[in-house]
Amino acid sequence: MNAPVHTRCSIVPPYLLSRLAGLEDPRHHNAAAAARRALVQLDPIHSARATAPRDPSRGAGTAVVLALRRTISDAYGTETLPGEAVRREGDPPVGDVAVDEAYDGLGATYGLFQEVYGRSSIDDAGLPLDATVHYGQRYDNAFWDGFRMVFGDGDGEIFGRFTASLTVIGHELAHGFTQYTSNLRYQGQSGALNESVSDVFGVLVEQRVRGESADTAGWLVGEGIFTDQVQGRALRSLKAPGTAHDDDVLGKDPQPATMADYVETTSDNGGVHINSGIPNHAFYIAATRLGGYAWERAGQIWYDAATGGNVPEDCTFSRFADVTVDAAKARFGEGSPEVEAVGYAWREVDVL
């Protein structure tokens, strides 16, 4: 199989970076400069990776190690990857908060996939999990580049360090999960589904660590990465798309919750970070209708859908909805509460 061209998937949407890059207020000089640097890395010429594997890369006769293996590296403010390895699997905390948060976040994400869904790492073949922290100078993003997770420290005015949010860590690593399963094309509705799958498993990682039920969870993506100067709690909300932030500098969260407000745009790869609010909200509705821990039933259905081989790379919302309904039927039975909840959720967001 030929390895696909892979676009760098980042947590901060380009429309937010563009807004920050245009700031002329001297109070936000650092944020504007940081956003301009981050935008350069989103340009396809600079950000597309030549190749990224879909199948585990192993030499002939190489044994598969089905155990958690983490390596956290420090870029020391450069943009050279991977940087210097500073904490490996089994090492004690090093006292650098970003290093230790990344290490713990990788472990929590691995734990969700392995302990709940029986998957050995994101590729189901024990892929080592690597991350780099302290990337760039005041770098306003975190991304999965097809091989590793990379975290900036933020500009200090709008964004703080990106390892501070467990949902960001889970989200970015889940892009790797999608890479090794459906490999959803990062454009239009399939790209919005790619982002949504990452949001879904990102919030599930956090909810499981916190022991939160579907009814008590916050359902926020990126909570904790804004400074106290920002009027807003997070980048996105699965519970109420469009309400995560409303700030004079950042603007208002533009995500729609239903197809009635679907955004037709050529920017952001066809609105992948904006329209992901629709499938995100469908998951939230299904999970809260079922109640209990969202990772147990709703999450299992989404996992089954993603790994079942029925999600094409150019998947639409309606096709994905059908696949999740079928996955619910296969696991829980025709006419089960799970099937009813999933169908109801997609109808509520006007997809079915």
Q: β-strand 129-133 against 149-151: which pairing, if any?
A: parallel
Query: How far is 142 from 175, CA to CA, in rounded Å?
Result: 12
Residue 329 buriedness (CB in 10 A; 0-12 / 13-18 / 19+):
middle
Residue 273 a catalytic site member? yes
Q: What is the helix (H) or strand (E) element at residue 132, kind and residue range?
A: strand 129-133
Identity at 4, one-letter amino acid code: P
Identity at 160, one-letter amino acid code: G
| Per annotation, catalytic residue among 134, 245, 273, 281 | 273
- What the block records as the tokens of 95 is 């006292």
Question: At which residue do the structure tokens 């090794």 appear?
Answer: 180
Other Cβ atoms within 10 Å of 24 Cβ, number: 7
Residue 53 buriedness (CB in 10 A; 0-12 / 13-18 / 19+):
middle
Query: How far is 161 from 142, CA to CA, in rounded Å?
Result: 9
Query: How far is 70 from 98, CA to CA, in rounded Å?
Result: 14
Residues 6+ apart with CB under 8 A from 331: 300, 301, 304, 338
Question: At which residue do the structure tokens 């890395």 appear?
Answer: 41
Residues 6+ apart with CB under 8 A from 111: 208
Residue 334 a catalytic site member? no
| Per annotation, catalytic residue among 101, 172, 223, 338 | 172
Sign of the alpha-carbon torsion through 289, 165, 116, 276 = positive
Other Cβ atoms within 10 Å of 197 Cβ, number: 28
Query: How far is 130 from 149, CA to CA, in rounded Å?
Result: 6
* Active site amino acids: 172, 273
